[in-house]
Structure 1
Amino acid sequence: MKNEFYYKNYPWMNADQLECFELLCDIHGGGNHLFGKIHPCGESGIYINSTCTHYMSTFDYSNLTRAVVLAHDRMIRFEIEPSGPRMLKLIAHKRHSRDGRMHERHPTIEDAITDIRNNHGEVTA
């Protein structure tokens, strides 16, 4: 495991929560860049109230795009909420299916792109 030191600090994590933790680590360039305590969020998720130390955008400083692509590839629902002054709450929930009810599934990035373009139109240059 890439971040064994951090797993030792959170022995309560199950396999789904560990996968969510890996996502957060990969988004931030390693667990050493996560600032805040990891908390359980149900049986399949985690959250962290984190100080805003990294830029998150779609292209340059593309951590936001990385988060979206990795979340879709790994079937992890990723959410960002406000959490206080200069803080964000990052929430991740593992899903196990591409089909099914809204709260059970996670589409591929390609399906999500198609859905968005069908609902909002595609911009062409």
Structure 2
Amino acid sequence: MNPRHDFYAKNYPWLNADQRECFDFLCDIHNGGNHMFGKIQACGEHGLVINSKASHYMSTFDYSNLTKAVVLAHDRMIRFQIEPSGPRMLKFIAHKRHTREGDYCERHPTIEEAIITVREQHPCEEVKA
């Protein structure tokens, strides 16, 4: 059983299975739920949204939580979105997807598929060492 189950039941009894997966994802990219500051709300049947104080770094290498978010989102089939949400605030939105194939708004590709797509759309010359 997921060790967060008691926490869900106590603090977020309304979470369904998809929203619990989104909650786990948000906890993981924040390095634990104790680092998420803001009210967690449902965003449709399959998602969550949190307006969070921008109190942590998200980048691609040093403080690599942005890279972690991208990789975990593709591995877990969670569509992840970041939006501005006011002074020193960011809105994090997570929606669980259930398929790798099908309609654009229902599927979620693997990270490998996403890398191929980006590189096809934005080719660059390889850096020589």
- Bin for the TM-score computed over the shorter chain: over 0.9
1:3 and 1:31 in contact (8 A); partners too? no
Which of 38, 41, 48 does residue 40 from structure 2 map onto? 38
Which of 53, 66, 69 does residue 64 from structure 1 map onto? 66
1:57 and 1:65 in contact (8 A); partners too? yes
1:82 and 1:88 in contact (8 A); partners too? yes
Aligned to 2:126: 124
CA RMSD of aligned residues (A): 1.0
Letter of the structure 1 residue corresponding to residue 30 of structure 2: H
1:38 and 1:48 in contact (8 A); partners too? yes
TM-superposed CA distance for 1:6, in Å, is 3.8
Aligned to 1:26: 28
1:6 and 1:31 in contact (8 A); partners too? no
- Determine which structure has more spread, i.e. the larger CA radius of gyration: 2
TM-superposed CA distance for 1:88, in Å, is 0.3
Tell me whether 1:113 sits opposite 2:85 in the alignment.
Answer: no
Aligned to 1:102: 104
Aligned to 1:16: 18
TM-score (normalised: structure 1): 0.96
Q: Percent identity between the aligned chains?
A: 69
CA offset digits 1:48-95 (Å, max 9, x no partner): 000011100000000000000000000000000000000000000000
1:98 and 1:108 in contact (8 A); partners too? yes
Across the two proteins, how many residue pairs are aligned to each other?
Answer: 125
Letter of the structure 2 residue corresponding to residue 3 of structure 1: R
CA offset digits 1:4-63 (Å, max 9, x no partner): 464121110000000000000000111111001100000000000000111000000000
Letter of the structure 1 residue corresponding to residue 100 of structure 2: R
TM-score (normalised: structure 2): 0.93
TM-superposed CA distance for 1:2, in Å, is 3.5
**Structure 1 Cα separation of the partners of residues 62 and 17 of structure 2:** 32
Aligned to 1:3: 4
**Structure 2 Cα separation of the partners of residues 63 and 70 of structure 1:** 10
